[in-house]
Structure 1
Amino acid sequence: MSRSQATSRGRKISAIALASLGAVAAVVITGCSRGSGKAADEDHGSAVAQVCGGFVEEAPTEAALEVVMGTERFTDDLSEPERALEALREAARTEQADVSRTQAIPYCWLLSAGGGKQDLRVELRTAAEAPAPDPRLGDQVSSFTSGERAFASVSRGKVYFNCRLGAPGHEILVDTTVRGPAGSQEPGRDHRTRLITLANAAARHVSAALGCEGDRLAPGVPAPAASTSGGAGR
């Protein structure tokens, strides 16, 4: 083989090697790009309608959650909806004296997507009674008309409702509590209305899931009660 032929052959081999390296680099870059996109999607979280079983399904409830949390994307990995519902079913099957007040379970626990520090919890438990707001808190608490009792403060909204299940179950009183983000800077009536809207929506969703009768829960946004002052018994 002449020197010119050897040189030409060497150039061809080098060209093929460079093309192969280029193809490998393209695959690696594409793979990394796809992986980064997936991570970015996970960081962006889920839309309102996709979290916590879809209890935020009506426009006023969706708007309330987005304003309270300051975002439209959430993660709900800490939620325990099935455990919370099963605890209520078990309470309805147990002697009432033994379940007057059960442990609160996070039916829905939302965090702002992308590593945000804001969080909102919807907790469920049974209660022996639906206590009236503490009058010492005055106009820091607003009362509403839904279920057996409903009221909200700057940090939480509460809705108590009766759930009557078929035999062998008995009627239980369900305490649905929404705990809003800590350090809210909006203590007024509009903020309290948002919290009670969320609590009421969660209560209605739970009632439907359990098949409750006689819950007396208001549709949509609960109306203010005749007397709107009092405390939430923090």
Structure 2
Amino acid sequence: TYAVTLLVSLYGQAVSGISAVTAGALVMPVAIGTVVAASAAGSLMLRFGPRTLTATGMALNAVGLFGVALMLSPDGGSLGATAPFLFVLGCGTGLFMTPSTSALMLTAPADRRGIANGLRSTLQNVGYLLSTALALVFATAGLSTAARQAAYGGTLGSLGSGEVTRFVDNVRVVGIALGLVALAGVVVCLAFPRRNPAATVHTLDSVSTLKESA
């Protein structure tokens, strides 16, 4: 999510020629989708369980990523068409994060939840940084040094259509690759066994306890 948000922002500036502020506004659907889905994720988790919800979230991520990748074009005119897919991407993230975190915290012993949450947060931040760094590397692969700097600076369009086309193709490949990773995440989510009714009741009680503690 972080990687694609950054790449779409760079695409808007480098290819479509919009300002940084406008580019930031155009990726707002991700944040809006995340807030909307996360707000509903708590009640949905109690009804469907974390296994189903995390898989659904990853599936929505895949749809959003594939959609964004397919909408991008070297002429920069399709940037607005990415908004619905960015919203879907945000919804997928919101649906995944809440049940994933809850399931992890409920699995950890009560006296180890602080450690578990710290580890979860660390791995999550490493994922943000690593995915963003790799996405930028692959998005600018094959570009000249000047073109790479122009892509980062949002001025790539001034260097000619060849460099722009290569950059857009790279960004699309990154989006599709991340979409495939999200599909793999769906498989991983579904690989976990379903909770039995007794465990579900225990989960509900534990969630209520955690809410009261918070």
TM class, shorter-length:
under 0.3
Q: TM-score, normalised by structure 2?
A: 0.25
Q: TM-score, normalised by structure 1?
A: 0.24
Compare the two structures and name the one with the higher strand fraction.
1
Return the index of the structure with the highest Cα Rg: 1
Compare the two structures and name the one with the higher helix fraction.
2
RCO higher in structure (CA 8 A, sep ≥6): 2
